[in-house]
Amino acid sequence: MKAGDQVSALTVLATATDEPDYGLDINLWDDSPSDWGRQYGFGNQPFGNPNLSYSSQAPFHMGFMHESRLLYLAAPFIKRTFPLLRSHQYSTLASLAFRTGHAYWGWRFAGLSLHYLQDLTQPYHAALAPGESTVKLLTANALAMAGATGMKDDLVLLLSNRHLVLEKYQTESLLKAAGNKQDTALEKALRNSEKDRNYPEWNDRYLRDVVSAQASQSASALVQNLLSVMPPTYVADPGFDFGVKEAGITLLNELPKRDTPERMRLDANLTELMGNFGAHSRNALRGILRASNPP
C-alpha cells in the first residue's frame, strides 16, 4: 500500500485483529525488564516468566474466569487477567472514533478489540488447564510451593505444547484450504451467520458469560480428541518443547488419514470453534456499531 490508497473497511478490521500479537502487550508489568512497565499500574506479572517477553503478554490474552473455587483459593493469581479490560478499552475507542467521524480508526480499534474476544474462543485461552483435574493442579501447585517444581513444570510445558499444536493444526488447515481455493467446513463455519442469533445481544458480560464460558466448557472433550490424533511426542511428552521446534514441523504431513473416527471428531471440534469465532466476532461488531450511533 501507498499513503493515500483506498482500502475496504473489512481489510482494516481484519488486519487489526492480528495486531495485539505484535508486541502491544509485552512487558507491561512492574517487574518487567522494560522502562515503561511501571507506568501502567498492572502490578507484578501474575503468572509466566517475566524474562520471556512473549509470556508477559499471556495475562492480557487469556482469561481463567470459570475455574473451581478451590483453584482460585490456592492460586489467586490466576484471577488477574486482562482480556476483558482490553476488549472494553478498544471497543469503546472504536465507538468514539465512529461517533466523531474517524471511520478508519473506528474499524482499526474494532479489530484490535476483536482480537481479545477471538483469543477467548480458544479453549486454551479460556481455561487454565483443559483436561486436567483440579486435584492434580492443586497437588502440582502445593508441591511447587514446597520446592518440588517438577510436576508443575511438566504440566506447564504439556499445556503450552497442546495449546500450540491446536493452533498450528488450525492454521495449517485454513492455509491449505486457502492455497487450494477450497471451501472447507472450516470456512463455511466461520461465515455461518445463522448461528449469531443463538446468543444474546452483545453486552458488557458477553465475553465472560458467553464466549469464555463456552470455550472453557468445550475444553475437556477437545483435549481427548487432540490427544487421540496428534503424535504423542507433541502432546504428551514433557521432555519435548513444541514451541521451540514448531517452525520445522508440518502437522498435516504426520497425521492419520482424514476419515479416521478420531480425526473426524477433532475436525468437528475445530469446525465448532470456528463457528463460535465467527458468530461472536459478528455479534461484538454489531454491539460496537450500535454504540457508535450518536443519540
Binding site for Zn ion (CB under 5 A): 21, 61, 119
**Whole-number Cα distances in Å, 100 to 96, 104, 224:** 6, 11, 49
Q: How far is the CB of 162 from Zn ion (least distance, A)?
A: 17
Q: How far is the CB of 40 from Zn ion (least distance, A)?
A: 18
Q: How far is the CB of 119 from Zn ion (least distance, A)?
A: 4
Closer CB to Zn ion, 122 or 225, in the complex: 122
Q: How far is the CB of 260 from Zn ion (least distance, A)?
A: 31
Residues 6+ apart with CB under 8 A from 288: 91, 94, 95, 98, 110, 113, 202
CB-based burial, 213-242: b 16+ in 10 Å, e otherwise: bbbbebbeebbebbbebbeeebbeeeebeb
Closer CB to Zn ion, 98 or 163, in the complex: 163
Closer CB to Zn ion, 121 or 225, in the complex: 121
Q: Cell numbers 501447585 label which residue?
A: 141
Q: How far apart are CA 176 and CA 195, in angstroms?
A: 25
* Residue in the shown chain whose Cβ atom is closest to Zn ion: 61
Closer CB to Zn ion, 21 or 237, in the complex: 21
Closer CB to Zn ion, 276 or 292, in the complex: 276
**Whole-number Cα distances in Å, 234 to 130, 168, 216, 249:** 16, 12, 22, 10
Q: How far is the CB of 214 from Zn ion (least distance, A)?
A: 18
Closer CB to Zn ion, 119 or 267, in the complex: 119
**Considering only CA atoms, which of 220, 254, 215, 261 is closest in space to residue 234?**
254
Q: How far is the CB of 130 from Zn ion (least distance, A)?
A: 17
Long-range CB contacts for residues 30-38, cutoff 8 Å, separation at least 24: 32/56
Q: How far is the CB of 59 from Zn ion (least distance, A)?
A: 11
Are 7 and 1 in contact by the 8 Å Cβ rule? The answer is yes
Closer CB to Zn ion, 61 or 108, in the complex: 61
